Amino acid sequence: MPANHLYLVGTAGCGKSTLTNAVQVWLRNQGYDAITVNLDPGADSLLYAPDVDVRDWIKLSEVMEQYGLGPNGAQIAAADLLALNIKEISQVINGFDTDYVLIDTPGQVELFAFRQSSRVVIDELSGDAAVLAYLFDPALARTANGFVSSLMLSATVQFRLPFPMITVLAKSDTVSDADWKRIESWSGDYYSLFNALLDESVDAQTQVNVEFLQALETVGAGHGLIPVSADSGEGIEDIYAMVQLILEAGEDVDR
């Protein structure tokens, strides 16, 4: 069986790296094999030791020096250099005999979602074994306005990267029960979200309307949002179950 590939995607600081590590620990505790891949050439201090690290091929500091670029230009160049090296990186990943490959994507979501090369990278690494987990940052998703912004971001990522996607509310341990109840109702009911927007700002009506929110729903944005915490472990099993459902019709991995 080829391994299942889970990409953790989201805005800077939403918890991708921490969750990559936590999912690996959880899978291993369940008796599954899982490896982690750092796809961020600019990561300067990772809190876990990835099994495969693109910095072994591409380092941001070296790209800056070699091409005379500042940090932003170098990030973009590095994303494209990644695609050039992807066959070799893929061989290294495929050299592992594992059930799960957990892929930690670059810090800033636009470096992953808005580069043409990312599509190539996912196709090459994963073929049809890819699932994206888009992480909502509670720092943003807690307000109705921020929640709509998160929906739009996740829809944009889905539009750019047409792979199966699940949406996750990260750092759920920092979200109160009352906040979660609100967020959960927004994710399932666009009228309640629209009303919450109106409560937050009288201008909401001039910016979005219910039809716009429904359009987001048609692309599946934010549907079935799963609360997940790398700290408490809440929801990690749900991520596993969703990935199994998408890639293996709900069957467990053979241990």
Ligand X SMILES: Nc1nc2c(ncn2[C@@H]2O[C@H](COP(=O)(O)OP(=O)(O)O)[C@@H](O)[C@H]2O)c(=O)[nH]1
Separation CA 145–CA 143 (nearest Å): 5
Residue 31 Cβ vs Mg ion, minimum distance, rounded to whole Å: 27
Q: Does 154 bind Mg ion (CB under 5 A)?
A: no
Contact partner at residue 171 from Mg ion, ligand X, none, CB < 5 to 8 Å by partner kind: ligand X
Contact partner at residue 161 from ligand X, Mg ion, none, CB < 5 to 8 Å by partner kind: none
Contacts with ligand X by CB under 6 A lie at 10, 12-18, 107, 171, 173-174, 229-231
* Piece of the chain touching Mg ion by CB under 5 A; list 16-24, 120-128, 176-184, 215-223: 16-24
Separation CA 173–CA 234 (nearest Å): 8
Using DSSP's 3-state secondary structure scheme, residue 51 falls into coil
Contact partner at residue 231 from Mg ion, ligand X, none, CB < 5 to 8 Å by partner kind: ligand X
> Helices 144-160 and 190-200 sit at what angle, rounded to 10 degrees?
130
Residue 204 Cβ vs ligand X, minimum distance, rounded to whole Å: 28
Using DSSP's 3-state secondary structure scheme, residue 246 falls into helix
Residue 12 Cβ vs Mg ion, minimum distance, rounded to whole Å: 8
Q: Does 17 bind Mg ion (CB under 5 A)?
A: yes
Closest CA to 36 of 168, 26, 166, 120: 26
Residue 2 Cβ vs ligand X, minimum distance, rounded to whole Å: 26
Nearer to Mg ion, 17 or 36 (CB): 17
CA separation (Å) from 202 to 76, 147, 187, 205? 39, 17, 21, 7
Residue 221 Cβ vs ligand X, minimum distance, rounded to whole Å: 19
Number of residues binding to Mg ion, judged by CB under 5 A = 2
Tokens coding 17: 């790296």
Q: Does 126 bind Mg ion (CB under 5 A)?
A: no
CA separation (Å) from 40 to 122, 123, 223? 14, 17, 28
Residues that bind Mg ion (CB under 5 A): 16-17
